Amino acid sequence: MKKTFRTILAAVVALAGTVTAKADEGMWLPSLISQRIADMQEKGFRLDADDIYNINQASLKDAVVLFGRGCTGELVSGEGLLLTNHHCGYSQIQQHSSVEHDYLRDGFWAMSRDEELPNKGLSVSFLDRMEDVTSVILNGYDPNMTEEERVALVKKNSSALIEETTKAGNGLRATVEALYYGNQYFLFVYREYNDVRLVGAPPSSIGKFGGDTDNWMWPRHTGDFSMFRIYADKDNNPAPYSKDNVPYKPKKFFRISTAGVQEGDFTFIYGFPGSTKEYMHSEGVRYIEELGDPHKIALRTLRLDIMNRHQGQSQKVRIQYSSKNANVSNAWKKWQGEVKGIRKMKTVATKQEYEKAFASWAKGTEYEGLIEKIAALYEELEPYAFATDYYSETVRTIELANFAMSMARLFVIKDDVMSFDKTRAAELAESFYKDWYQPIDQESFAAVMTQYEKNVPEEFKPAYYKAQMEKYGNAQAWADDMFGTSLFTDKAKVSELTAEDKDQVFADPAFVFFNEFLKWYSADVQPQTTRLNRELDLAYRDYMRGQMDFAEATDGPAGREAFYPDANLTLRVAYGHIKGYSPADGVYYTPSSTIKGIMEKDNPDIFDYNIPQRLRDIYAQKDYGRWADASGEVPVCFIATNHTTGGNSGSPVINADGDLIGLNFDRVWEGTMSDIVFDPEICRNIALDVRYVLFTIEKIGGAEYLFNEMVFAE
């Protein structure tokens, strides 16, 4: 008998809440945490579900924020003091930096509220509540509707619900998110604060210690933290930046534990994981392993080599490209670990075996033929996905071309009169030229477009591209001409632009480059990827229900042991315990690192390992104060089995009593495939020990006055 949508949805919720997870795998919805609390308590947690999530009284959720649009932060005082990662606050630190005031190199510490630095465009969001709104969003749905009609209905109902939810204003923001590929919908209501000021940051030689070499690696010795303060109006409400604003008074903030951590201790992460694809078909994984990741890695390697060479030759360029370099290198190295992990786990083969069993079970059910349908869609999508990856990692990375397009969009016709927003143009120009270095951009153009010629099939090369290559012969000559003739390489010329210069701007080679590729992509590639991804989403909606039915029918072993929704930058709970791991035969990593490891890596000749002299002096004198552990060293980082991903950067790592013990900032390289498949033996999150944060504030920053507003667990 065919199940109704509501029956299947009930099964989704029940399975997601009650089936025991595989080891410490899972990213769970806080509003449903009561369905996981018994397992958490069995593993050592000493609080209850209401302590984690409660909309009627203060709970731990009220001490956690979405920092910007891609990280997590946590409140550590009743005065709005906030901790997040150094790399999460990196762009703000970089924006305040100059050759004269190099806060990236030297660090920054506000010694009073008046010295805290405001940050344009930075916001933090507190989750007020989340609720299942599936019945509201699908109100009016008819099974006979086409997918386009269903999408339109969901969009219409979502917009109406969001408008109703946020009509009171006062910083309210809401989103409706699809879970389980659209089998369920949740409303997330936030309160957003926009006056967020930089309080402190260690030198990059601490906050980014090890740089790209150590990124995603264990053992780790990176002091990856920065400090901000949230400000509000006199009534504690969100308000634009004003000198009259006062520190925000949170409903809840974290006590800080200085007792230390031991292997086996319970850990719990509360944060905003960005994106996972745990239920992906084998063909999707195969594309990532064999084509997507390897080509993106190769293209980014070229760009990073160029950046690193120029940054090593100039302090000014190093500052200009520090944030850009970090953004490029982060995914670059993650993809390398992801491919390695997928291959080591034989993920494609394992999924193929599962899909074979699913297909056999599905015969005679509504899911018959579904596995084959998804495989066929991936086969059709693959060349378009490859073209998209190359477009994104080549054309879209040329800074000059992006800037030219941004300026061109400032020409607007209104009432048959051409206008040009000179104020906005000046703002864009100031931002662009401050952090742009032509040799890097020009060399990168030649490098990536050479690879475009080599690797993109002829049928996916635009006519414009072919004409340019015929004209110039190679990408280097093309780059030399574009960067030699574009007006956008000259700040003075850009500052003189007026509405009368539209034709000149639209004929500029940098604009034409971006615009011609954009037109081609929009006409020839994007419609196909949109269509095919929509068909895949529809198939995955059925496949998600099918996997749950399969698990239920086979009592678990043939299916997954737990069904948590994929991450989508909404607040989640992940729990586990502190534990080392063995990445290879004969190798075992203990779960903690100390300051001793920093000194073993210290190298004044390498920027990323050249620690402050102050830290060397402290180590030589063993002047650790209260921050030494039982071994006599200062703890730096630890690893645990919590299931995390991008977006969890800055998330609070919490102990069994709900106290802060660290800040999540990374995963081990061998386990970065956890976005696709979780291996409890190898997947580890990396956290900064809060004791090293406190040590750095006091001993390096001299800002121990901040401790006066914190609360320490007894």
Q: What is the pLDDT of residues 191-203, one digit of tens each?
A: 999 999 999 999 9
The CA distances from residue 445 to 303, 353, 668, in Å, are 9, 43, 32
Given 87, 221, 295, 643, the catalytic residue: 87
The CA distances from residue 700 to 202, 208, 615, 628, in Å, are 8, 15, 7, 15
**pLDDT tens for each residue of 679-712:** 999 999 999 999 999 999 999 999 999 999 999 9
Say which range, 1-15, 207-221, 236-250, has the weakest mean pLDDT.
1-15
Interval 210-239 mean pLDDT: 95
Residue of 543, 639, 525 whose CA lies nearest to 582: 639
Phi-psi domain of 267 (left: phi exceeds 0; alpha: psi -120 through 50; beta: other): beta
The share of the chain scoring above pLDDT 70, in percent, equals 96
**Residue 190 pLDDT greater than 90, yes or no:** yes
pTM, to two decimals: 0.86
Residue of 311, 333, 452 whose CA lies nearest to 393: 452
Residue of 480, 462, 484 whose CA lies nearest to 472: 480
Backbone angles phi, psi at 179, to 5 degrees: -115, 155
Number of other residues whose CB lies within 10 A of the CB of residue 11: 18
pLDDT confidence tier of residue 19, bands split at 50, 70 and 90: very low
CA distance 665 to 663: 6
**pLDDT tens for each residue of 442-452:** 999 999 999 99
Could you write out the DSSP letters of every residue in 186-236? EEEEEEEE-EEEEEEE--HHHHTTTHHHHTT-SS------EEEEEEE-TTS
Given 214, 224, 508, 549, the catalytic residue: 224
State the pLDDT at residue 504. 97
State the pLDDT at residue 556. 54
Interval 405-428 mean pLDDT: 94
**Residue 1 pLDDT greater than 50, yes or no:** no
**Residue 598 pLDDT greater than 90, yes or no:** yes
Given 77, 158, 649, 674, the catalytic residue: 649
DSSP code, position 116: P
Angle at 660 between CA 269 and CA 614, to 5 degrees: 115
| Beta partners for residue 198, in sequence order | 117, 228
Q: Residue 175 class from Cβ within 10 Å (0-12 exposed, 13-18 middle, 19+ buried)?
A: middle
State the pLDDT at residue 566. 96
**Residue 11 pLDDT greater than 60, yes or no:** no
State the pLDDT at residue 212. 80
**pLDDT tens for each residue of 540-596:** 999 999 999 998 888 654 334 468 999 999 999 999 999 999 998 999 999 999 999
State the pLDDT at residue 22. 54
CA distance 552 to 542: 15
Please indicate whether residue 365 or residue 99 has the higher confidence score (pLDDT).
365
**Residue 180 pLDDT greater than 70, yes or no:** yes
**Residue 5 pLDDT greater than 70, yes or no:** no
**Residue 3 pLDDT greater than 60, yes or no:** no
Based on the residue annotation, tell me whether 649 is a catalytic residue of this protein: yes
Please indicate whether residue 609 or residue 558 has the higher confidence score (pLDDT).
609
Residue with tokens 């969901």: 154
State the pLDDT at residue 98. 86
Question: 3-state class of 68 per DSSP?
Answer: coil
Number of other residues whose CB lies within 10 A of the CB of residue 618: 18
pLDDT mean across residues, the chain: 94
Interval 641-657 mean pLDDT: 97
| Beta partners for residue 190, in sequence order | 127, 173
Could you write out the DSSP letters of every residue in 445-477? HHHHHHHHHHHS-GGGS-HHHHHHHHHHSSHHH
State the pLDDT at residue 23. 63
DSSP code, position 696: I
**Residue 126 pLDDT greater than 60, yes or no:** yes
Residues near 286 by Cβ (< 8 Å), separated by ≥ 6? 348
Residue type, 223: G
**Residue 13 pLDDT greater than 70, yes or no:** no
Q: Residue 681 class from Cβ within 10 Å (0-12 exposed, 13-18 middle, 19+ buried)?
A: middle
Residue of 302, 297, 334, 436 whose CA lies nearest to 647: 334
Interval 278-299 mean pLDDT: 97
* Beta strands, E only, 76-158: 81-84, 108-109, 117-118, 124-132
